[in-house]
Structure 1
Amino acid sequence: MNDKLKYIVTSIFLSSLFAVLYTGCKQDSIEINALPFQENEGDNWGLISTNGKIEIPSGSFTRQPSAVVNGMFSLPDEKGYYQLYELKHPTHPTSARRFAQVGHFFEDVTLAQEFPDSPILVIDRKGQSINNIGISLHYDIILAHNFAEGRALFCTRKGKYGYMDTQGNILIPPIYDQAYDFHEGLALTGNTNDKGETSYQLIDLSGNVRIQIQDTPALLDSQPACGLIKYNNCQSGQCCYLSTTGKEGLFLPDSIREAFRFRHNAAIIHTDHGAGLIDREGKLLIAPTYEEGFIVGNDRVCLRTGNEWQLADFEGNSLGEAKKSYERISTFYPSGLAIVRSGTQCRWMNRQGKPADNRTYHCIAEDPSALQLVPQVFVRKNTKTENEENNSANRPEKKGTVSASSSITASASSSTMASSSEKSSPGNDPSAGKPHTTCIISSDEWKNIGKQNPFYAEARKILSGKLAETDAENRQVILNYVEHLRTSYTTKDIDFLTQLFSEEALIIVGKVIRSTPRTDGKYLPQHQVEYNIKSKRTYLERLKVLFKQNKEINLQFSDFKIMRHPTQEGLYGVTLRQKYSSDLYSDDGYLFLLWDFRDEATPLIHVRTWQPRMLDDRTPLPEEEIFNIRNFNLQ
């Protein structure tokens, strides 16, 4: 195994946790009262307030509750259905009603579904239905986001987007080909003409156009933040910000290769030398000498050097005990505390970078959807009869079937509607504005694939009947997902990739460096492969740039193998050969993906590595050097 890559994997896999990247100027106003936590490894769950007070002791819940938002949380039962609870009465649900999916209470109401694929409901804090938005005299609503600023974005079966109020009344008709959640009183919407050209505008909460965005070749961010909306000029590559008030925007110098949304009137930027921080006027606050950074609160930023994070102020001054570094630092909650992790323990930290108390915990589980960093998506793909819905009430769907695979990717299939920092720019995806669906291949279709298909051997193994039912189902889900993974590069489906990787995924990418022959008789220099470790966010942001720079990207898979972990149930390693080609670059190498099925509703990838097929022009990578699940210590 390449010594450098071996060191990367063995020393970082279990210790390097990447932070969720918080953006925008709004999230601090969301009232998150408490988060799920475990005091010790192996404990059941409790709830701890965001000021560090234990509300419900660890071990009180056998299953993980949701975050507590505006005093409300949900708790799954043994069948995976959720009941509603109030923090002040945590042992008795507010009603006996159960839901397959229920949202956070950002308002006095939220969205819910009683069964998978059933009509989308607006419910109150007692679980009572206010409105059934899946049934309309005029529109067939198949997808909706939970409320943001009193408006819920929805999509009809015809692929048109609109907004409803908290009573489920359609306030802004579905007239848009693309639309996004409201933020700071504005939402980005777009319509596409017969030539495939999309014009964008910012609308207010009543649907009135505030700003008509000039029709120029640009990649727009999906969300305004701090009175600015970021875009990249496709012709010059320049990073710019458009003012949402109609005033002059902000144009950054060419040395800045990428910039991100503003938060607390500052934004992270990237140059060829690293990451730094600018203010609203574009003035450099922190020199771009760090590997990565993200803003965690008012006048607070996290900066990464190597594999650890430090807390700093907006002038770059390190804060905390002897400039201590952490593997992860969360955003600061309104209480003034953030969660930090080091080793196997986490604790609360104050704004000065010091421990809030002397207590440590095994886990404090954050929820990006509670912070409205990612939307809660409700999907209704099929129209079922009332009898079919009632018959499915006590029959949760298995993963691996056609319907289950569809439900697994429901939140990813919301395409252009996500509002997190990892969301694709609307001009970036040629299929933006249309609900995506996973490439679902049925068992009958797998039976008929030819021997030339890269999945042939694994498909025959699944259909042989010699595997345990759950194992066979998991493997079929992997086949479907990997086929969609291949096509996601061709279609530039960044939403699918966002859903696929876990927030703390270890992603190792490699790039073959081309050069002229050497004079010492060797065909390539010693270091012809450049490896980089990327967080999920950095990896996806880089993909967005690649998608923008290349008109065509193609992947070809072969030598596809699935290996189940010998002792850890639900973990699978996937190894395959990948030929990558684009307008600007091509390579041939081996891809390894570590799949986790321990959360049955959402299989995720925790590890992604790449190795070149050839060590040099004459020497193939030895078979024993190709990564598989045995290379990872998962005990």
Structure 2
Amino acid sequence: MNGKLIHIISTILSSLLMLLCNGCRQCSIEINALPFQESEGNNWGLIATNGEIKVHSGSFTQQPSAVVNGMFSLPDEEGYYRLYQLGHPTQPVSAQRFVQIGHFFEKVTLAQEFPDSPILIINRKGKIINDIGISLHYDIVLAHNFAEGRSLFCTRKGKYGFMDTQGNIAIPPIYDQAYDFHEGMALVGNINNKGEMCYQLIDPSGKVCSNIQITLSLLDQQFSCGLMKYSNLLNGKCCYLNPEGETNIFLPDSIKEAFRFYHNAAIIQSDHGIGLINKQGELLITPEYEDGFIAGNDRICLRNGNKWQLADFKGNIKGTKKSYDRITFFYPSGLAIAYSDNQSLWIDREGKPLDSKQYHRIEEDLSALQLTPQVFTRKSAKTEATEDKSKNQKENPTLPVSNSPKEEVQTAEKTNATCTINNEEWKNISKQNPFYTEASKILSGKLPETDADNRRVILNYVEHLRTSYTTKDIDFLTQLFSEEALIIVGKVIRNAPKMDGEYLSKGQVEYNIKSKQAYLERLKVLFKQNKEIKLKFSDFKIMRHPTQQGLYGVTLRQKYSSDLYSDDGYLFLLWDFRDETTPLIHVRTWQPSMLDDQTPLPENEIFNIRNFNLQ
């Protein structure tokens, strides 16, 4: 057999493997096409994940969804979606409109007709086959799209269960916490008589596979490649559980963080950077890169500086060391999207362009790859804490903590509070956590009840604020600020240098005031321009106004980093709890931490609640 034939057979087998596998599990989901634009403007089309154009750019004036198992949705001018088949992309399958339609991972999917309306199950013809809020005899306020034939749902009482694709109860809503099925198991939790959250693994019938016996540990939300990562909150060690609930891998102290396994490998992080390990915990790539993620079978994307490169699991750079501004996960076709100089193109597993074609934009979709869940919620004024849980599930910022008491469900007066972290989790956070001091005050029992409740809401909201940048949740930020919010942004300016060319004069801060709308529009642009945005908080303080009841000032140090820009400064937020149903931010200020390379911003110039006339 000659070398050329061997190469062809190898390529075919590799493609088949990509089609069959998503991470470490068999996958029957076919991603047929993604939305794309050949040039800037409202000229959308659909391009297959093998690079073939299915619907020419300009066929749609609105962005369609990804095409999953032959189906996609397209919004009209009013923002309502109709359902389409790729075989007939210009004619909707029915006249029925929805405010949200999920991907067809199964023969059915979830949908909602109007904002805040009941969650429905529809078929490929757009026909409603079940109203789960009625058929299940529960007031359903949250549901995830199907994963492995099961849809996670939550009732208004805060109990989780699972339904099948016909809308029948597969597992009753008896859990205080639950996560999606993956590799045939789901992580669920209930509070015991000691007030501790205890976790189990269940199969799709609800049968208990194993009990999680570890304590005071931060768990991942699912098994992947037969392992579940957890972090010991007492010593900071990163470990992995097997399906029997036993610890299978203990990583050394030099590993500060570890992540979920994909394709039998996992990203790890040390003080020196990002690296890679195998399922035996052995080092595959030395941790020396600034960032990285597993992109596909035996492929990892690594970043040093502002450029990403594709490598194999031994660290060998592919594509003659070609670098890109950004690279996506590999799609089942065996291709990934690369972004370079504001253009999009397809690259193969060697990091080489598929062809000479470049596009203004190819829109990636992590929900089509089931790397993020599709969440359907009912944001009613009576939702209690369920909106918080939906945000938590959607953003995935908070991992379950083993054997920890669960915070009480918020009362109706706190409907907008984002309870991403519960009481016991606050109690167990380390002294290095930026919220440690304020959380200790709340849990001390020495504060008046209303004051403690307000501060708890602030803690959870600020944690949600941090993750909202990571997940680009512009809706949360929109509802967080009052319509008349004062947005103040500072920047360092200097006068002209002295004529003798010695030193620049001392920097001073110039402040610009923005409206809420202008601030949010700018954020939308930043969210589109950057794949990754991260915030880190420190020096967190809450100050109650001495005379005006219900007003609080929050000051903290914020380190912002993104693909294109980074900064370090002080953030101040003025909170108003005088309307208990809707806590709002009236003032947001940001100041740079340094006036120049050697001069910190003077402490007496850092904004706090005393800087604002609140009479």
> Structure 1 length as normaliser, TM-score?
0.66
Partner SS for 1:134: helix
How do residues 590-609 of structure 1 correspond to structure 2 at under 5 angstroms?
590-591=570-571
Letter of the 2:203 counterpart: D
User: Secondary structure of 2:346's partner?
Assistant: strand
**5+ residue gaps in structure 2?**
1-21, 419-452, 475-505, 507-526, 546-551, 559-567, 574-588, 607-615
Aligned residue for 1:361?
359
Counterpart of 2:416 in structure 1 is 438
User: Residue 275 and residue 414 in structure 1: after superposition, are their counterparts in 2 closer, same or farther (change >3 A)?
Assistant: same
Q: Is the 8 A contact 1:339 1:348 kept in 2?
A: yes
Describe the SS at the equivalent of 1:490.
Answer: helix
Which whole-Å CA distance do the structure 1 matches of 2:316 and 2:281 have between them?
A: 20
Please list the CA deviations of residues 454-500 of structure 1 after superposition, one character each: whole Å capped at 9, or x if unmatched.
xxxxxxxxxxxxxxxxxxxxxxxxxxxxxx99967613775564345
- Give the counterpart letter for 1:491 in structure 2: N
Shift of 1:415: 4.4
1:149-188 equivalences under 5 Å are 149-188=148-187
Instruction: State whether residues 577 and 590 of structure 1, in contact with CA within 8 Å, keep that contact through their aligned partners in structure 2.
Output: no
Task: Kindly indicate whether the alpha-carbon contact (under 8 Å) linking 1:554 and 1:581 is maintained by their aligned counterparts in 2.
Answer: no
Instruction: Give the structure 2 partner of residue 51 of structure 1.
Output: 50
Contact persistence 1:179–1:433 (CA under 8 A): no
Mapped contact 1:239–1:257 kept (Cα < 8 A) = yes
Write the letter of the residue equivalent to 1:590. Answer: Y
The reply to whether residue 612 of structure 1 matches residue 593 of structure 2 is: yes
Which residue of 1 is the match for residue 339 of structure 2?
Answer: 341
In 1, distance between residues paired with 2:243 and 2:40? 48
Q: After alignment, is 372-381 or 245-254 more displaced?
A: 245-254
Cα pair 1:240 1:251 within 8 Å, conserved: yes
Contact 1:490-1:554 at 8 Å conserved across structures: no
2:324 alignment partner, SS class = coil
CA distance in 2, matches of 1:178, 1:352: 42
Pair 137,308 (structure 1): closer, same or farther in 2 beyond 3 Å: closer
Q: Report the Cα offset of residue 162 of structure 1.
A: 0.2
Q: Does 1:417 align with 2:393?
A: yes
| Contact 2:326 2:531 (C-alpha < 8 Å) held by counterparts | no
Cα pair distance change 1:286/1:500, threshold 3 Å: closer
Residue 467 of structure 2 is aligned to residue 498 of structure 1: yes
Residues 178 and 416, structure 1, Cα contact 8 Å, conserved in 2: no
Question: Could you tell me whether the CA contact under 8 Å between 2:101 and 2:109 is conserved in 1?
Answer: yes
Aligned equivalents of 2:541, 2:93: Cα separation in 1: 52
C-alpha distance in 1 between matches for 2:255 and 2:337? 31
- TM superposition shift of 1:539: 3.2
Contact residue 591 and residue 611 of structure 1 kept, 8 A? no
Aligned to 1:205: 204
Distance, in Å, in 2 between the alignment partners of 1:537 and 1:432 is 31
Matched, 1:117 2:116: yes
Determine helix, strand or coil for the equivalent of 1:216.
coil
Alignment partners' CA distance in 1, 2:338 and 2:454: 33
Note if contact 1:32-1:69 (Cα within 8 Å) is conserved in structure 2.
yes
Query: Percent identity among equivalent residues?
Result: 59
Q: Residue 101 of structure 2 corresponds to which residue in structure 1?
A: 102
128-137 or 250-259: bigger deviation:
128-137
Task: Identify the structure with bigger relative contact order (alpha carbons < 8 Å, sequence gap 6+).
Answer: 1
Q: How far off its partner does 1:130 sit?
A: 1.1
Give the C-alpha shift of residue 611 in structure 1.
Answer: 2.4
The Cα shift of 1:236 comes to: 1.3
Amino acid at match of 2:323: S
Question: Which amino acid is 1:157 matched to?
Answer: R
Contact 1:376 1:411 in 2 (8 A): no
Kindly indicate whether residue 513 of structure 2 is the aligned counterpart of residue 539 of structure 1. no
The equivalent of 2:5 in structure 1 is none
- Alignment partner, residue 427 of structure 1: 401
Alpha-carbon distance, 1:254 to partner? 0.6
Equivalent residue number for residue 472 of structure 1: none
Q: Distance in 2 between matches of 1:54 and 1:27?
A: 27
Preserved contact between residue 191 and residue 199 of structure 1 (Cα < 8 Å): yes
Paired position in structure 2 for 1:579: 555
SS in 2 for 1:427: coil
Flag the 1:68–1:485 CA change in 2: closer, same or farther, 3 A. Answer: farther
Deviations, residues 552-598 of structure 1 (Å, cap 9, x unaligned): 9644699xxxxxxxxxxxxxxxxx9952399xxxxx953399xxxxx
Report deviation, 1:198: 0.5
Root-mean-square deviation (CA, aligned residues, Å) is 4.0
Number of matched pairs: 466
Aligned with 2:373 (options 359, 372, 375): 375
Alignment of 1:196-275 (within 5 A): 196-245=195-244, 249-275=248-274
Matches of residues 392-411 of structure 1 in structure 2 within 5 Å? Answer: none
* C-alpha distance in 2 between matches for 1:259 and 1:610: 33
SS at match of 2:323: coil
State the AA in 1 paired with 2:151: A
**3-state SS in 1 of match to 2:459:** helix
Residue aligning to 1:65: 64
Matched to 1:498, the amino acid is T
- Structure-1 residue corresponding to 2:298: 299
Say if 1:34 and 1:48, in contact at 8 Å, map to a contact too. Answer: yes
Structure 2: how far apart are the matches of 1:83 and 1:196?
46
CA distance in structure 2 between the aligned counterparts of 1:231 and 1:250, rounded to whole angstroms? 10
1:577/1:173 CA distance change after superposition, 3 Å: closer
Q: CA deviation at 1:31?
A: 1.4
Q: Is the 8 A contact 1:230 1:261 kept in 2?
A: yes
**Shift in Å, 1:100:** 0.9
> Which residue of the partner structure matches residue 351 of structure 1?
349
Summarize the Cα distance change of 1:50–1:504 in structure 2 as closer, same or farther, 3 Å threshold: farther
Map Cα deviations across residues 266-292 of structure 1 (whole Å, 9 max, x no partner).
Answer: 000000111100000000000000011
Q: Does the CA contact (< 8 Å) of 2:38 and 2:360 recur in 1?
A: yes
Letter in 2 for 1:414: S
Q: Distance in 2 between matches of 1:151 and 1:107?
A: 10
Determine the C-alpha separation between the residues in 1 that align with 2:208 and 2:323.
Answer: 46
> 2:493 — aligned with what?
none
Q: Distance in 1 between matches of 2:53 and 2:237?
A: 48
Q: Runs of 5+ in structure 1 lacking a partner?
A: 1-22, 383-401, 441-483, 506-525, 527-533, 547-551, 559-575, 583-587, 594-607, 625-635
In 2, are the aligned partners of 1:309 and 1:328 still within 8 Å (CA)? yes
Aligned letter for 2:459? T
Residue 190 of structure 1 contacts residue 201 of structure 1 at CA under 8 Å; is this kept in 2?
Answer: yes
Query: How far apart in 1 are the matches of 2:177 and 2:109?
Result: 23
Q: CA deviation at 1:376?
A: 1.2
Q: Displacement, 1:211?
A: 1.0
Quote the residue 2:190 is aligned against.
191
What is aligned with 1:92? 91
Give 2:100's aligned amino acid.
Answer: Q
**Paired position in structure 1 for 2:33:** 34
